[in-house]
Structure 1
Amino acid sequence: MRIAMAQILSGTDPRANLGLVENYTRRAADAGARMVLFPEATMCRFGVPLAPVAEPVDGPWADGVRAIAERAGVVVVAGMFTPSDDGRVLNTLIATGDGVDAHYDKIHLYDAFGFQESKTVAPGREPVLIDVDGVRVGLTLCYDVRFPELYVELAERGAELITVHASWGSGPGKLDQWTLLARARAIDTTGYVAAVDQGCPAPDIAALGPTGVGGSLVASPLGEVVSAAGADPQLVVADLDLEAGRTARETVAVMNNRADFTRRRKAESRA
């Protein structure tokens, strides 16, 4: 399975950012990718009010992504903001193209490192998987990557690939944490993890909030780095050996061991 990660620098104009989606999707399709992943906040970067740009998943911006995916004949997954019933927004991924039409709302909000996402963003509730060419793919957003239980649940539901779409906050050690966490979640689930971040912006933009550090990567089921990006905008194309991944899941067997442990605990509680 060939995938692509579009490490971009989103601005504050959703229409201009849609142009980035068009450009990188076309390049990914030309490279033979079946799916192209864009970061969190592709629609509009953090650091500005989000409610004025939020649109529903059937609104003009999402429909623009759908049209791009249809023209390219690939699956596109991109970060946007949608309205919440309580006046906040939802931090959303839209996944569309080639028979896929789904969205995921970020479950774990970034109330850490002095930032409080929950002030303006409402949490999602449900894990989401999509099917791409018969492969189950789990969708996650940024701070989710610090919560291994979500990744284990997605793997238990059949995910062989889990994507992470981020606009990672900068600071001492943060790039190392980003890459380490992505690799750790791959090891936790003995599955592939494709983690796409915003590129590293100029210091004045970075000071406004979590706006990316670069370092997009694909980690193998054994935690090896398959492909990786630097700090600047770029398209990363990676080939996933899914059969080798299935062998790794059987050989390392942590998913089976965890299921056995859960069954024993349930049996003991009933005894």
Structure 2
Amino acid sequence: MPPLRLATAQLPITGNARQNGQKVRAAMRDAAASGARLILFPEGMLSGYAKNPIQDWSEVDWDVVREELEQVMVLAAALELWVVLGSAHPLTPPHRPHNSLYIISDQGELVNRYDKRFCSATETNRFYTPGLEPLIFEVDGFRFGCAVCVEINFPALFIEYDELGVDCMLLPSYPIDRIFFVKARAYAAIHNFWLALSVPSECADLMKSAVIGPDGGVMAQVEAAEGTVLNDLDRDAPELDVALKKARPWRAVAGTGEFYRDAHVTDPRSTDKTVL
């Protein structure tokens, strides 16, 4: 199967959806010109993220957000580019919005939406309605899973996606500490999948948007405060042979206990835990 070129953006996020949408579409054009098949944007990229810069949802013109989203969809079709775009998704008043990722196909269709399930306490109490379900979608034979920001603190979520057979986790975020990047590398190495981390320019002093390999290594990252990084997801890359073709299938078998069943023995020196 041929590699898939993934673009991961790092852009400033404002409270102006028009301005955010222009940034999104410019990055899409650059990514498509470089051969990308999918581009990932940060958490809250289109609408603006709650707490910074959005202090109250009354500040957001949802009609403008919808218009900008529709323009992104039209451009995605023209560029034949998949887009994963962070944005708040309004619900019926008085319900708070979801903290969402819009999944837009290379035909310009909104094919699905991931709603952040594990929102922070502040998010849940003031800004967002939590979602309920995992989300997987496929592009050119690669399976992508979605998580958002603080969800990195819930190992069960990443175990769930591993069991669902994802090749790459998409993790748009608005991080507040540097340890976040270490956690992302750990999940990629433990589960042997790629992990794309997209953060806003406002967080560039903490970490950069990056693609982490199935071995936990940083394969590519944005160098400046604003930009987009490209990386090919290649199942046949020699440097990933152990992670993808040995470690991941072995761990799947070992995790069930099947691998060790015939290796267990009946021995009193094993069962007696007090013997020297």
Aligned to 1:94: 102
Instruction: Give distance in 2, aligned partners of 1:32 and 1:73.
Output: 10
Matched, 1:248 2:243: yes
Instruction: Give distance in 2, aligned partners of 1:103 and 1:256.
Output: 32
**Conservation of the 8 A alpha-carbon contact between 2:181 and 2:207:** no
Matched, 1:26 2:19: no
**Conservation of the 8 A alpha-carbon contact between 2:9 and 2:228:** yes
Q: Offset of 1:45 from its aligned partner?
A: 3.3
Instruction: Give distance in 2, aligned partners of 1:131 and 1:162.
Output: 12
- 3-state DSSP of counterpart to 2:13: coil
**Conservation of the 8 A alpha-carbon contact between 2:49 and 2:87:** no
Q: 1:73 to 1:87 in 2, by over 3 A?
A: same
Deviates more, 1:76-85 or 1:60-69: 60-69
Match of 1:80 among 71, 74, 87: 87
Q: What do residues 72-111 of structure 1 show as CA deviations (whole Å, max 9, x unaligned)?
A: 1110111011123552111000010225611100011123
Instruction: Give distance in 2, aligned partners of 1:50 and 1:164.
Output: 24
Aligned to 2:118: 108
Aligned to 1:51: 57
Identity %: 27
**Conservation of the 8 A alpha-carbon contact between 1:82 and 1:90:** yes
**Conservation of the 8 A alpha-carbon contact between 1:219 and 1:227:** yes
> Structure 1 length normalisation: TM-score?
0.82
Q: Offset of 1:59 from its aligned partner?
A: 3.6
Aligned to 1:207: none
Instruction: Give distance in 1, aligned partners of 2:210 and 2:27.
Output: 17
CA RMSD of aligned residues (A): 2.6
Aligned to 2:67: 60
Over alpha carbons, which structure has the higher Rg?
2
Q: 1:55 to 1:152 in 2, by over 3 A?
A: farther
Aligned to 1:14: 17
> Structure 2 length normalisation: TM-score?
0.80
Q: 1:66 to 1:125 in 2, by over 3 A?
A: same
Instruction: Give distance in 2, aligned partners of 1:158 and 1:84.
Output: 31
Aligned to 2:231: 238
| Code of the aligned partner of 1:217 | A
Aligned to 1:208: none
Q: 1:224 to 1:80 in 2, by over 3 A?
A: same
